Structure 1
Amino acid sequence: MTMFSTMTQNADIRPQLPDPASAPELFDGLLTRRVTAYFIDVVILGALVLAITLLGTILGFFTFGLAWVSLVFALPVAIVVYYAVTLGSPRRATVGMQMTDIVLTPTRGQPLDGWMAILHALVFWVTIWICWPVTVLFALFTPRRQMIHDLVMGTLMVRRSPMIQHWQRMRASDQYGV
């Protein structure tokens, strides 16, 4: 399946996926919120990396340099754990995403567990590292404002508060056969 055919499938993956035409409130200001959440998370990750680096530097003097060597492993592990704990949680959002009222939703029917969250973050950072303008601009041309890594991983980013109301409406219409 090509990326183009993935983009053109609107509701074929899961019919209950929200559609921007029928639920525009789920996608209102989504790109601005995603960029803001990204910068909040970068600041948090920067503070985490700085704290671990300072701790490792100080401990390195007491451990004859062993703590300095461990930083090579400790820093990536801390970043991976951040994404696994936040995106893999029931809230399905990093701290920045929670602050901007957005949530990560799987589109292919699989659960969004810690491993899926780690893989999503890894694909995100690879696509951002390779060519961030294309990754961000890509979202302007997909109906649900999905970026490359969202399409590859089968995820969808939506606003959290309207999403809760949307799913309640969907359950009610399914329940009553509307």
Structure 2
Amino acid sequence: MSQDTPGSIQLSSLKGNEGFQGRMSDIKDRFDGIRTKRVIAYIIDLACIAGITLVATIAAFILGVLSFGALTPILSLALALIPIAYHTLTIGSAKNATIGMQIMGVEVVLEDGRGPDYLMAFFHSGLFYATMALTSTLILLVSLFNDKGKLLHDYLTSSTVRLRED
């Protein structure tokens, strides 16, 4: 029964090879060393976020002083959203990767092989920070129990991080 019939359920996504056509060795090569690359990419991203936050904090301080503190609450909220905005704007871009991911040669893709749009990138990064905050980073252990190094937010958004095709 290889034909799709209306109302039928396709179980092909359970194989774990979504969005990639090729031999199993090719699939394994796309995820070789992915955990290490993700960690190093995130460290690079933390440095980028720290630089952006430093500049934004100086600007927020100046605006707070000039407004006699009236803008301070909204500027504080804007500073808190910098990490999510950084990840959303970079993962949702045409490169499908943050600056750290680009340097490490990895990208975020959905199960069907497409890159995430900005809305999906927002959910991806929001879920990442929410799960990190709720579990004190213990959620990162999820990647040790699957071959692709996927984390909980990757499963929840039907995405994966793989080595970039050059």
Q: Any residues of structure 2 matched to 1:1-178 within 5 Å, and which?
A: 9-11=14-16, 14=18, 16=20, 21-108=25-112, 112-160=116-164, 163-164=165-166
1:67 and 1:11, CA in 2 relative to 1: closer, same or farther beyond 3 A? Answer: same
Decide which moves more: 52-61 or 30-39: 52-61
Following superposition, the deviation at residue 19 of structure 1 comes to 7.1
Unaligned runs of 5+ in 1: 1-7, 165-178
1:18 and 1:126, CA in 2 relative to 1: closer, same or farther beyond 3 A? Answer: farther
Letter in 1 for 2:111: T
Stretches (4+) displaced over 6 A: none
CA RMSD across the alignment:
2.4
User: What is the TM-score with the length of structure 1 in the denominator?
Assistant: 0.75
User: 1:50 and 1:57 mapped to 2: Cα distance?
Assistant: 11
User: 1:43 and 1:37 mapped to 2: Cα distance?
Assistant: 10
User: 1:17 and 1:124 mapped to 2: Cα distance?
Assistant: 28
User: 2:71 and 2:141 mapped to 1: Cα distance?
Assistant: 41
> Whose helix fraction is larger, Structure 1's or Structure 2's?
1
User: 2:52 and 2:99 mapped to 1: Cα distance?
Assistant: 13
Partner of 2:45: helix, strand, or coil?
helix
Unaligned runs of 5+ in 2: 1-12
Letter in 2 for 1:9: L
User: Which residue of 2 is the match for residue 4 of structure 1?
Assistant: none
**Number of aligned residues:** 154
Letter in 2 for 1:43: A
Decide which moves more: 117-126 or 80-89: 80-89
Decide which moves more: 37-46 or 21-30: 21-30
- Matched-pair contact (CA < 8 Å) for 2:97–2:107: yes
